[in-house]
Structure 1
Amino acid sequence: MNEIHAEKDVAVDGETAWVALTHFNEWVEEIELVDRIEYDKTPIFCYVGRNYKLHMPEGFPIKYRISMLDRKNLEIHIEGHASIFKNELICKIIPLGDRKCRLIRQQIYEGLPGSLFKSFFSKREKSEGQQYVEAWARYARKLDKERYDKDSHSK
């Protein structure tokens, strides 16, 4: 299978990691290999059917659509395409107990175009995947700290 996998363990609970993931429009531009995200600025970003574009430094946008949100299993599926190239991004969270979880980003490249893309750009895509889980983890830790600070001040 034409797949690239990245993961990171982070010291936050699964719910906090989920909130961070569903707000990825707020942190995805931290990824070096993403210039900007383009979407209509409606208040809720993450819902099934949401369309958006990621503009890459190479000068082309990739169109994405959120195709599945599974809050119970802490998983999101996103379909991407640019010309004949299609891919699927699966992001999931695995709770590890004691306020820890594993963030997983799996990128699947479809068909011959996907196979060729992966063979030529594997290093770039692995770097992007790792940057993605790192940015996601940073944002989750930020949310966790904000919640902790708010809880400690309200006592």
Structure 2
Amino acid sequence: MNEQDLDVVRSQILKNPRNTAILQFLQMTADSYSKLLSWEQAYSGFDEGGQIFFDKYGRELPNSVKYSLGIHNLMINPQNYLIFAAHYGRCTFFFRPDWKKLEIQNTDQLRISETLDGLIDIRILGKEWAILNCFCEDEEDNLVWAYSHSSNS
């Protein structure tokens, strides 16, 4: 991905108001956005969480949704620039579930969880987010559904 294409993605993720909470939670600064790279460009072999997030859980998703933003990794829908999943810390993953597809109750218990990074609380992100780590064994399906759902959002 060339620099001009990355500038478009950087600009558009900031323009989408539904991204504000996740970007604030990740403590992104104006300088941070210059670090946005496609996963293919950023891959170094040293990002264990990124490898799990993109290459295992996200293996069914196109590379066009996979981005690295410094120490965080994001999945961004290229149609509307909505961030639909994020990797935080060493091995903590958030996503915007397709609640109808999941057929489970949307509760705050899915926004507070113990991960390898300790106790994580993402309630500040709102009811459209959940911690992916709460969905053991179904991470791949949930990310595919989240991507599809983000296209309709």
User: What TM-score comes out, normalization by structure 1 length?
Assistant: 0.29
Q: Which has a greater percent of helix?
A: 2
Q: Which has the larger radius of gyration?
A: 1
Q: Which has a greater percent of strand?
A: 1
